[in-house]
Structure 1
Amino acid sequence: MSEFRTAQLTRLSLTDFRNYTQLTMPIAANMVAFVGANGAGKTNILEAISFLTAGRGLRRAALADAARSGGSGNWSVAATVLLDGLETKIGTGLVAGVSGRKVRIDGQEVRGSDALLDYMRVLWLVPAMDGLFTGSGSDRRRFLDRLTLAIDPAHGRRVADFENALRQRNRLLDQGGADAYLSALEQQVADVGTAVSIARQETVGLLSRTIEDQAAQSLPFPHAALTLEGAFETETSGLSAADREERYRQLLSDGRARDRAAGRTLNGPHLSDLKVRHAAKDMPASQSSTGEQKALLIGLILAHAELTAKVSGMTPVLLLDEVAAHLDPNRRAALFSKLSSLGGQVFMTGTDEALFEALPPASEIIEISAGTSRQIRGPQTP
C-alpha cells in the first residue's frame, strides 16, 4: 500500500497518564510489539496512542479517569509523527478542572480533536470488543460510528449533533413544549439523523465490498456479511435522501404522544443495529463459536484498514491488544504478514515475547515493566 500516505510515530511521551509518571520512548519500526506481565501498562500505552486522534479513546473512559492515581489530575500524551517526510509534534491532555481535552499541533492549541485526523487515523481491536456480536445494539452502533469516523471525519460531529437534538426533543416533550418549537427541533433531528444513517450505510456498503475483495486473498479469517437494520431503515428503504428526511420528520411528528409516554424517542437511527453474519456458514456471528467470532472481528478490522487507506489516502495506525494470544501459529503468521502488507504502523501487546517470533525482521519488541520501557529486539536490516 505504498501508494497511500503513511503516518509513523517516531517518539511517544506520557506524563501522569494511567500508571505512568513519565515515560518517553523512541519508536524505530512500523510493527511494534509491547510485551510484559499483565498489569504492566501495555494497554495503557495503546490507549494513549488512541487519544492522538479524534474521539474518546479505546476505553471510552472519562478523561479524568486516565489521570495517574495520586497525581495532580492533569495528564498529557505527546508524539512526533513523520508524515510526507515532515515531522509534526502532536499532543493532547487534560487540565484538571477544565472540561474537554486540550489538543496541540506543533505547539499551537487547536480547537477539537478532529484536527488530529489530518495526521493520524487510528483503528483498534481490544479484548473488550470480543463480545461485540453478542452484546447490545448500542455497542455495535458505536463500533460502526468509529469505523465511519475513520473514513469520514465529519461523522463524529454529526453523531454528537444528532444525539444532542434527540435529548432536546425528549426534554421538550416531557415539559409539554409548544408544537412550533417541537416542529423546529424535529426538523433538526430529521436532518442530522438522516445524514448519520446515510453515512453509516455508505460505510457498510464500502466495507462489504472490501470484504468481498479480501476473499480472494486466501486469509485464514472468515468473512463477515454486514447489514444495517432497524425500523428507520425499513421505513425509509428506497427513498432519496430528501424523502428519507421528510419521512423521518413525519414519523417524529406522528409519534409525539407515544414518545412522550415512553419518555424517549422510539424510532430513528439511534436504534439501528449493525448485523453481522458468518458469510461462509450463513449464520449470525452471535451464534458462531468464540474462536470464530474473534477471527471474524480480526477479518473485519483488516478489511476496514484497507478501506480507510483507500478512502482517506492514509494508511491507519492499528492498535491490537492481546490479539496474538488467541491465534494458532499459522494464523499468527498470516496476520503478521497481512499487517506488514498494509504498510501502516501497527502496535500490538502480549505477555510473551514468543508470541511475536513470526514478526518480520524489521519489527521492534519493547518490554514494559513497572512504568518503564526497554527495547529487547530492534529492527534488523536484511
Structure 2
Amino acid sequence: MSYFRDIRLINYRNFKDYSLEFTKNCNVLFGTNGSGKTNILEALSLFTKGRGIRKDQIKNFIKKNENNFINFSNFKQFDDSIELKVNSEKKNNKIIKKIFLNNDSSKKTIDHLYSLFSFLVFLPETERLFLSSPSFRRNFIDGFIFSKDNAYNILINKYKKNIIERSKILNLNDYETSWLDKLEENISNLGLEIYKARKLQIFSIQSHLSLLNEQQKLSFNKLIIKINDRFFNDGINIELYIKELKKYREIDKITGGAHIGPHKSDYIFQLDENILVSQLSTGQQKTIILLLYLAQSNYLVNECNLKPILLMDEICSHLDDINRKLLLKITEHFDLQIFMTGTDKNLFSFLSTNTNFCNITE
C-alpha cells in the first residue's frame, strides 16, 4: 500500500511552517473556514503533475511577503520510505513548480514518482456536476481517466495545441495546404483517442456500478451515462474525421477552434432511461456522485491494481443516512488512504474509531 505519512508546509498559502502526521487510512482535517484545510489537500496534490486541485498559478501558492514555498512529505511505498519535496523556483522570469524524490529531480525519477500513486478528487463544486457546464462534466470524466493513466493529460494537451495551431493557420492570408492537412490528421488521430478513452471510462463506471449492485445489494436504479455529441458515433474513423474538419474550415476560421471533436462533447446521466439525474433532489444527486466515486475506486483497485488516494474537500454537505453509508463504504471497503475536510469534527461521527482527526484551527 502507498500512502503519505506526513506533510510539512513552509511559506505555503496561509502556513508559515506547519506539520501534520497521517494514517494510511482515513484522515479528517477539520477547522473553521479559512484555517487552511483545502490548502493541505492542494499541497498533497502538488506531488504529482499539474498545478494542484484548484489549478491555480504557482506564484499564488507562496505565502505573502515570502520568496518561495517548500513542502515536504515522507511517502510510504510498501516497505520503502521515500522523501518527497516540492518547491517553487524562478526560471526565465517565470515561477515554476519543481518536484524531488530523494533529492533527485531527473525526468526518469519523477516519471517513476508519477507511477507510484494517483488521486481521486472531490471538490465542493462537484456537487453541481449534473447542473454545471458541459466542460465541467468533460473535466470530471477526464479526471477519472487521469487517475488510471497519468499520461492522459499529454494527449489532451496535444489535442488542444493542434486545435489552436489550426485556428492560427486558418486566419493567415496565405498558408501551405499540406501544413493544414497534417494538422487536421493529427487532430483527428488525437480526437479519436480521446473519444475511445472516454467511452471506455463510461463503460467502466457503469459495469462496476452494476457489479457492486449485485455483490453488495446497493439497491439503486441502473445509472446510464450517454455521450451527447452530434459528431461522435461508433462508426467514425480517421477519414471521416478529416473530411469533416475540411468541410468546416471556413466556419472555424470565423468562430475559432473546431466545429467538431471531443471538446464539444457532453454527458447525459439518467436512471433507468427515463429519469434525468439533473432533475433529482440535491441529496439524490449527491448519492449518484458518491456512487461514481465508489465505482471508480472499485475499477482502479480490482481491475487496474491501483490504490488511488482520495482527496475529498467539504464532503459532508447533503449527507443523509444513504449518503453516509456510501461514504463509509468508500472509506472501509478498499483499504485506501483518504483525506476529508469539514468545519466540525461531529460531521464525521459516523466514521470508524480508527479515523485520524486533525484540528487545523489549533
User: 2:118 is matched by which residue type in structure 1?
Assistant: R
Following TM superposition, by how much is the alpha carbon of 1:36 offset from its aligned partner in structure 2, in angstroms?
A: 0.8
Q: Is the 8 A contact 1:325 1:350 kept in 2?
A: no
Cα-to-partner distance string for 1:258-315 (whole Å, 9 max, x where unaligned): 21122221111111112222x2583222222211112211111121112122343121
Give the TM-score of the pair, scaled to structure 1.
Answer: 0.87
Give the corresponding residue for 1:106. Answer: 102
Give the corresponding residue for 2:72. Answer: 78
The equivalences for 1:127-146 within 5 A come to: 127-146=124-143
Give the corresponding residue for 2:157. Answer: 160
Tell me: CA distance 1:98–1:38, structure 2 relative to 1, closer, same or farther (3 Å).
Answer: same
Q: Within 2, Cα distance between the matches of 1:222 and 1:357?
A: 28
Q: 1:61 aligned to 49, 56, 59, which one?
A: 56
Q: Within 1, Cα distance between the matches of 2:222 and 2:62?
A: 39
Q: Is the 8 A contact 2:291 2:326 kept in 1?
A: no
Tell me: CA distance 1:220–1:346, structure 2 relative to 1, closer, same or farther (3 Å).
Answer: farther
Give the corresponding residue for 1:174. Answer: 171
Query: Where does structure 2 lack aligned partners over 5 or more consecutive residues?
Result: none
Aligned residues: CA RMSD = 2.1
SS in 2 for 1:101: strand
User: 1:50 is matched by which residue type in structure 2?
Assistant: S
Q: Within 2, Cα distance between the matches of 1:114 and 1:98?
A: 23
Q: Within 2, Cα distance between the matches of 1:286 and 1:116?
A: 38
Identity %: 26
Q: Within 2, Cα distance between the matches of 1:230 and 1:110?
A: 41
Tell me: CA distance 1:179–1:317, structure 2 relative to 1, closer, same or farther (3 Å).
Answer: same
Give the corresponding residue for 2:342. Answer: 350
User: 1:255 is matched by which residue type in structure 2?
Assistant: Y
SS in 2 for 1:275: strand
SS in 1 for 2:5: strand
The question of 1:319 aligning with 2:285 is answered: no
Greater mean deviation of Cα atoms: 305-314 or 153-162: 305-314
Cα-to-partner distance string for 1:111-167 (whole Å, 9 max, x where unaligned): 497543312111111102222211111111111111111112221100010000100
Give the corresponding residue for 1:294. Answer: 286
Q: Is the 8 A contact 1:123 1:318 kept in 2?
A: yes
Give the TM-score of the pair, scaled to structure 2.
Answer: 0.92
User: 2:178 is matched by which residue type in structure 1?
Assistant: A
The question of 1:270 aligning with 2:270 is answered: no
The question of 1:328 aligning with 2:320 is answered: yes
Q: Is the 8 A contact 2:213 2:220 kept in 1?
A: no
Give the corresponding residue for 1:14. Answer: 9
Q: Is the 8 A contact 1:227 1:274 kept in 2?
A: yes
The question of 1:25 aligning with 2:17 is answered: no
Q: Is the 8 A contact 1:11 1:25 kept in 2?
A: yes
Q: Within 2, Cα distance between the matches of 1:367 and 1:308?
A: 31
Q: Within 1, Cα distance between the matches of 2:46 and 2:198?
A: 23
Give the corresponding residue for 2:244. Answer: 251
Cα-to-partner distance string for 1:293-342 (whole Å, 9 max, x where unaligned): 12211111121112122343121111111212421356324422431111
Query: Where does structure 1 lack aligned partners over 5 or more consecutive residues?
Result: 1-5, 373-382
Q: 1:198 aligned to 166, 185, 196, which one?
A: 196
Tell me: CA distance 1:69–1:280, structure 2 relative to 1, closer, same or farther (3 Å).
Answer: farther
The question of 1:150 aligning with 2:125 is answered: no
Q: Within 2, Cα distance between the matches of 1:312 and 1:334?
A: 22
User: 1:78 is matched by which residue type in structure 2?
Assistant: F
Following TM superposition, by how much is the alpha carbon of 1:34 offset from its aligned partner in structure 2, in angstroms?
A: 0.8
